[in-house]
Structure 1
Amino acid sequence: MSFWKDLIKLVKFRLTFLVVFSASISFLIGSQVNGFVNWVNWAKLIVGGFLITGAANGFNEIIEKDLDRLMTRTADRPLPSGRMTNGQALVLSLLMGIFGTYLLGSLNLLTGFLSVFAIILYAFAYTPLKQKSPISVFVGAIPGALPPLIGYVAAFVHPKIDQVALILFGIQFIWQFPHFWAIAWVLDDDYKLAGFRLLPTGKRNLISAVITFIFTLVLVPVSLLPTFYGYGGYYVGGVSLVCSLIFLYQSFMLMRTLEIKSARQLMFGSFLYLPVVQLMFLFDFIVKK
C-alpha cells in the first residue's frame, strides 16, 4: 500500500491528471474536426499521456532529490524521504516513459515525437534552469503547453498541426505564466530554500506583479481566438471572455496588494480557468455540428 502511495507522489498525480485532462479534451476537439471519435485511441492517449507525464515527473524528482529535501512542500516525497531509491525511481520512470511512448507512438509518429520532446525539455532543460534564472518559466511553458497539441494531433491518422492546434497550444502557453507565477508567489519562501528563482524578478515585488498582470491581459484576446477565427461561436467566446476578465481582475488585485492571499486566489482561479475554457471550446464544436 505504501508503494502505491509513493508512486502517486512520484508521478505527481494531481498535476499529471490535469495534463491528461487537457490532452483528452483536445483529442475530442480534434475528433470533431476529423469527424470521427476513436474511443480506443482516446483511451490509449489517456494511458500513454499519464505514463509519459509520470515519467517526466519521475526524472524531475530524481534530479531534484537533494533540493526537494530542503523544502517543506516536497520533503515527504519518496526520494528525499528515503522511502524510494534513485535506482527504483529511475527504473519506474524509464518503464513509464517507454510504454507511454509506445502507446502514443502507435497513434501516429508525430504524437510520439512530441511526447518524447516534452519529456526531454521538461526534465533536462526546465528542471536544471530553475536554480539559474527566471527564464526557466518560459522554457517550462513549452512542454507545459504541449499536452493539448499532442492530444489534438493524436486524433488524426495523418496528423497535422493546423490553426486549431496552434490556438489550443497558444491558450495553454500564455495561461501558464500567470498560473505558475501565482504558485511561485505563494511558495516563494519555500522555493528560496532550494535556490529556485521562479518569479519574474526573483522577488515578490511590484515588477513581478505587473509582469504577471501583462501576461494575464494578453490571455484575454488569445482566449477569443477560437471565436475570432470561426472555430467557436458565442458560447466559447462569451465564457472565455468572462473567465479571462475574472482572471484579469484577480491578477490586478495581486498587483494592487502584493499579498500572498491575492496570489493564492489567482492560483485557484487558474485551476478553474483552463478546463472551463477548453470544455467550452469542445462544447461549441459539438453544438456547431
Structure 2
Amino acid sequence: MKWSDYSKLIKLRLTFLVTFSASISFLIGSMANNHAHWVNGINWVNWVKLIIGGFLVTSAANGFNEIIEKDLDKLMKRTMDRPLPSGKMTNGQALVLSLGMGMAGTYLLGSLNLLTGLLSVFSILLYAFVYTPLKRESPIAVFVGAIPGALPPLIGYVAAQQHGRIDEIALILFAIQFVWQFPHFWAIAWVLDDDYKLAGFRLLPTGNRNLGSAVITFIFTLILVPVSLLPTIYHYGGYYVGAVSLTCSVIFLYQAYNLLRTQQIEAARKLMFGSFMYLPIVQLMFLFDFIGK
C-alpha cells in the first residue's frame, strides 16, 4: 500500500484541519482553566497525545466512511480514484486500519481524561454510522454531520483539563465551528452538486442549486457574525479578537451575499475557499488573545 492511498483513505487534508482545530483549543483550554503561562505552564506531552489521538480518531472515522461509501465513490469523478473504489486497497485492509486507528486514538484521548475518550467515540459513531448513510436520504444530513464536525475544538478544550468538563468557553468554541460548517459545507456542495448527485447525495438545503439554497446559506453565514463575537461578548476575549472575528465574518458574509446575488458556481467556490481561511484565523486570534493576557 502506498502512502498516497493511505492519505486518500484518511482524507489527509480534512484530518489535518480537524486536528489543528483540536490542538488550538487544547492550548486555549490550558490557559483558560489551568491558568497556565504560555510555553512553561502547558502540558506539552498531553498536547502531543491529543494531536496523535485526534489524528487517529479522525482518520478512523474517515476510513469507516469510505468503507461504507465504496460503491458510491465509484460513481463520482472526484472520489473514484480513492483506494477502495479503485481496487488499490481491500475492504478488509481498510477495516483493519480503521479499527486499529480508532482504538489507538481513543486510548490516547481517553488517557487524558474519560470525557475526552467518550467524546471521541461518540464523534466516530455519529459521523461514520449516522451522518454517512443519511447523506443519501435528506439534506438534514448536514445538520447531523455538523455535530461531530464541531466536536474537535470541544474535545481539544476538554482534553486540556485533568478531570474534563464542559464550560462556557468550550461551548463557544463548539458553537463557532458548528455554525461555520453550514456555509462551509453548502459552498462545497454547491460546487460539487453535479458529482454528488451521481451518487444520490442530497446535501444542498433545498436539494438543488437555486435561490432557496443560496438564501439559507446566506442566513447561516449571517448567524455566524454574532456567534463569532461570543468570546468578546462574554469577556473571554478582548477587542482584538472581536475586531478580527468581525472583519472575517463580514468578508465571509459578503462572499455568501455574492452567491445569493449570482447563484454561480464560481461564487460558491470563493465562499468555499473563504471558509478554509475563516476558521483557523478566528481560532488563532482567540488563542493569541489568551497569550497576550
Interval of TM-score (by shorter of Structure 1 and Structure 2):
over 0.9
Displacement after TM superposition at 1:160 (Å): 1.2
1:26-66 deviation line (CA, Å, top 9, x unaligned): 00000111123100000000000000000000000000000
Tell me how far apart the structure 2 counterparts of residues 236 and 53 of structure 1 sit (CA, whole Å).
28
Q: Which residue of 2 aligns with 1:258?
A: 263
Q: Which residue of 2 aligns with 1:175?
A: 180
Q: Which residue of 2 aligns with 1:27?
A: 26
Q: Which residue of 2 aligns with 1:54?
A: 59
Displacement after TM superposition at 1:5 (Å): 1.4
Structure 1 residue ranges without an equivalent (≥5): none
Partner-residue secondary structure (3-state), 1:274? helix
**How many aligned residue pairs are there?**
287
Structure 2 residue 291 is matched with structure 1 residue 286: yes
| Equivalent residue letter for 1:16 | T
The percentage of counterpart residues that share the same residue type is 79
Structure 2 residue 273 is matched with structure 1 residue 268: yes
- Pairing of 1:116-265 with structure 2 (within 5 A): 116-265=121-270
Partner-residue secondary structure (3-state), 2:86? coil
Tell me how far apart the structure 1 counterparts of residues 176 and 158 of structure 2 sit (CA, whole Å).
16
Partner-residue secondary structure (3-state), 1:107? coil
Q: Which residue of 2 aligns with 1:78?
A: 83
Tell me how far apart the structure 2 counterparts of residues 286 and 81 of structure 1 sit (CA, whole Å).
47
1:164-214 deviation line (CA, Å, top 9, x unaligned): 000000000000000000000000000000000000000000000000000
Tell me how far apart the structure 1 counterparts of residues 240 and 291 of structure 2 sit (CA, whole Å).
11
- Pairing of 1:4-23 with structure 2 (within 5 A): 4-23=3-22
Partner-residue secondary structure (3-state), 2:204? coil
Tell me how far apart the structure 1 counterparts of residues 157 and 171 of structure 2 sit (CA, whole Å).
10
Tell me how far apart the structure 1 counterparts of residues 139 and 54 of structure 2 sit (CA, whole Å).
27
Tell me how far apart the structure 2 counterparts of residues 285 and 155 of structure 1 sit (CA, whole Å).
15
Tell me how far apart the structure 1 counterparts of residues 25 and 103 of structure 2 sit (CA, whole Å).
23
* CA RMSD, Structure 1 to Structure 2 (Å): 0.5
| Equivalent residue letter for 2:195 | D
What TM-score, normalized to structure 1?
0.99
Tell me how far apart the structure 1 counterparts of residues 134 and 238 of structure 2 sit (CA, whole Å).
40
Query: Match for 2:69 among 57, 64, 70?
Result: 64
Tell me how far apart the structure 2 counterparts of residues 105 and 119 of structure 1 sit (CA, whole Å).
14
Moved segments of 4+, more than 6 Å: none
Structure 2 residue ranges without an equivalent (≥5): 37-41
Tell me how far apart the structure 2 counterparts of residues 147 and 164 of structure 1 sit (CA, whole Å).
14
What TM-score, normalized to structure 2?
0.97
| Equivalent residue letter for 1:29 | I
Tell me how far apart the structure 1 counterparts of residues 165 and 57 of structure 2 sit (CA, whole Å).
21
| Equivalent residue letter for 1:17 | F
Tell me how far apart the structure 1 counterparts of residues 63 and 131 of structure 2 sit (CA, whole Å).
14
Tell me how far apart the structure 2 counterparts of residues 95 and 112 of structure 1 sit (CA, whole Å).
15
Q: Which residue of 2 aligns with 1:3?
A: 2
Query: Match for 1:95 among 93, 97, 100?
Result: 100
Tell me how far apart the structure 2 counterparts of residues 94 and 232 of structure 1 sit (CA, whole Å).
39
Partner-residue secondary structure (3-state), 1:216? helix
